[in-house]
């Protein structure tokens, strides 16, 4: 019996992104598939084959299938709770991870809060499976309607006018690191430090039961013992007690990560699958180079961005990221990356490994950055891009 295109697409979306297709979402999926197939000018069956075999077609469908809507300080009680935790945390660097960040209001709310309470030892990591959501987060541009939840005072301090809307001020944008990450799969390329807090809200509600459980386990693996997980009210992840205990913080329910057991895995005692080593900086730079050489600019941008994430002080990584973004035609973000390369250069101790730049010296790199930043195409004002 042959499977219908709708069933094939539903299986792909569940197996690759964890998203279930229930009757209502199935009807929506069917409509989206038909629209996309007609836009691509191919029959539905062929379109689903494209989705199956071409990563870009899959990503594009995912951008359309996922619900990326969010708002600032959505569920304010959870932010009050997070502020209490952040104030009480040690002065060592801490991470709060917004997993499934949607259009960015959640990570920027966290960044605003941390700025307000003066916790500059924290950094915010924002991830999503949708490249559209990540691009919106990266841009940090919102219509007036999308600013719901922000007080006038916060709006005035953390946003500025841009055309008919608003944009997050660069000083706040810089505090949010953005990376692609799929919660539905173990991703050895995902290199955030262990988080002291994770916001994963209104994401698992779209997941299948098993996928949701597996994601919780994966998130647990990225939270430091004693760290906290905030879920959305409609997320029903199933049993949490293998890794978390429910706690109330400032009246908000969240989950505290239990100390890691010696080995609670059901696979304990059996031979374990080989674990790929965590990526290192030169590996990511080489991967980015390779992807750029193959013309896969999206993969190149991702690898270079992760390299900047792994070590935010490496000018070469920012420079490579800028070059890949420039090639991809995103001049605004390229300029931002070249600017970051310049800053990293100024912070650097001069011992940076420049092997990724084919024999360039430090002075060459400084000159190249300066040329990029004064190039007429690159030199547009940061807020002047469309």
Are 74 and 149 in contact, with CB atoms under 8 Å apart? yes
Shortest gap between Cβ of 73 and ligand SAM (angstroms)?
10
- Tell me how far, at minimum, the Cβ of 369 lies from ligand SAM, in Å: 33
Smallest distance from the beta carbon of 204 to ligand SAM, in angstroms? 9
Q: Cα 158 to the chain's mean position, in Å? A: 21
Integer CA distances (angstroms), 133 to 8, 10, 101, 301, 346, in order? 25, 21, 8, 16, 32
223-231 sheet: strands from edge to edge: 176-180, 122-128, 94-99, 195-200, 223-231, 252-257, 244-249
Which tokens in the block code for residue 237? 């992840």
Q: Closer to ligand SAM at the Cβ: 114 or 133?
A: 133
Least separation in angstroms between CB 64 and ligand SAM: 10
Q: Check if the beta carbon of residue 189 is closer than 8 Å to that of residue 306.
A: yes
Closest approach, Cβ 71 to ligand SAM, in A, equals 6
Give the burial string for 148-166 (b: 16+ CB within 10 Å, else e). Answer: ebbeeebeeebbeebeeeb
* Packed helices 44-53 and 55-65: angle between N→C axes, nearest 10 degrees: 110
For ligand SAM, the closer CB: 64 or 332: 64
To ligand SAM, the closest distance from the beta carbon of 109 in angstroms equals 9
For ligand SAM, the closer of residues 72 and 318 by Cβ is: 72
Is the Cβ of residue 24 or residue 267 nearer to ligand SAM in the bound state? Answer: 24
Nearer to ligand SAM, 212 or 320 (CB): 212
Residue 244: phi and psi, rounded to 5, are -135, 160
Q: Which residues lie near ligand SAM (CB under 6 A)? A: 17-19, 66-70, 74, 100-102, 106, 128-130, 133, 182-184, 201-203, 206, 232
Chain-centre distance for alpha carbon 77: 24
C-beta of 13 vs 324, nearer to ligand SAM: 13
Q: Residue 94 is inside which H or E element, if any?
A: strand 94-99
Q: Which residue is nearest to ligand SAM (CB)?
A: 102
Residue with Cβ nearer ligand SAM (17 or 254): 17
Whether residue 99 contacts residue 265, with contact meaning beta carbons closer than 8 Å, is answered with: no
Phi-psi region of 118 (alpha: psi -120 to 50; beta: other; left: phi over 0): left
Taking the complex as a whole, how short is the minimal distance between the CB of residue 195 and ligand SAM, in angstroms?
A: 14
**Residue with Cβ nearer ligand SAM (232 or 312):** 232
Q: Name the minimum Å distance from CB 293 to ligand SAM.
A: 28
Give min distance, CB of 224 to ligand SAM, in A: 21
Query: What is the spatial distance between Cα 60 and Cα 130, in angstroms, rounded to a whole number?
Result: 8
Nearer to ligand SAM among residue 18 and residue 339 (C-beta): 18
Can you tell me the distance from the alpha carbon of 252 to that of 254, in angstroms, rounded to the nearest whole number?
A: 6
DSSP string, 116-181: HTT-TTEEEEEEES-HHHHHHHHHTEE-SGGGTT--HHHHHHHEEEETTEEEE-HHHHTTEEEEE-
């Amino acid at each position: 019996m042959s499977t219908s295109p709708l069933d094939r697409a539903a299986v792909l979306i569940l197996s690759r992104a964890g998203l279930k297709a229930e009757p209502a979402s199935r009807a929506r999926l069917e409509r989206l598939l038909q629209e996309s197939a007609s836009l691509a000018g191919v029959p539905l069956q062929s379109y689903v084959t494209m989705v199956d075999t071409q990563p870009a077609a899959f990503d594009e469908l995912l951008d359309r299938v996922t619900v990326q809507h969010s708002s600032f300080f959505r569920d304010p009680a959870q932010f009050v709770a997070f502020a209490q935790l952040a104030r009480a945390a040690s002065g060592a660097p801490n991470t709060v991870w917004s997993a499934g960040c949607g259009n960015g209001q959640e990570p920027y709310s966290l960044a605003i809060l941390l700025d307000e309470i003066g916790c500059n030892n924290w950094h915010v990591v924002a991830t999503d499976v949708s490249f559209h959501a990540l691009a919106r987060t990266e841009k940090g541009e919102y219509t007036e309607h999308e600013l719901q939840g922000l007080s006038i005072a916060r709006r005035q301090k953390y946003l500025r006018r841009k055309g008919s809307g608003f944009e997050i001020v660069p000083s706040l944008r810089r505090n949010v690191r953005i990376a692609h990450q799929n919660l539905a799969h173990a991703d050895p390329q995902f290199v955030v430090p262990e988080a002291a807090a994770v916001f994963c809200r209104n994401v698992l509600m779209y997941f299948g039961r098993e996928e949701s459980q597996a994601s919780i386990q994966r998130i647990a693996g990225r939270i430091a013992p004693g760290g906290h997980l905030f879920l959305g009210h409609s997320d029903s992840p199933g049993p949490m007690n293998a890794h978390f205990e429910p706690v109330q913080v400032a009246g908000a329910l969240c989950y505290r990560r239990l100390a890691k057991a010696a080995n609670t895995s059901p696979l304990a005692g059996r031979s374990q699958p080989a674990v790929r080593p965590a990526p290192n900086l030169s590996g990511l730079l080489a991967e980015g180079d390779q992807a750029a050489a193959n013309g896969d600019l999206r993969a190149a941008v991702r690898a270079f961005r992760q390299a900047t994430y792994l070590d935010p002080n490496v000018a070469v990584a920012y420079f490579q990221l800028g070059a890949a973004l420039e090639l991809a035609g995103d001049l605004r973000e390229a300029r931002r990356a070249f600017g970051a390369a310049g800053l990293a250069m100024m912070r650097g101790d001069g011992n940076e490994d420049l092997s990724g730049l084919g024999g360039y010296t430090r002075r060459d790199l400084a000159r190249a950055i300066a040329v990029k930043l004064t190039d007429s195409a690159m030199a547009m004002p940061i807020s002047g891009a469309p």
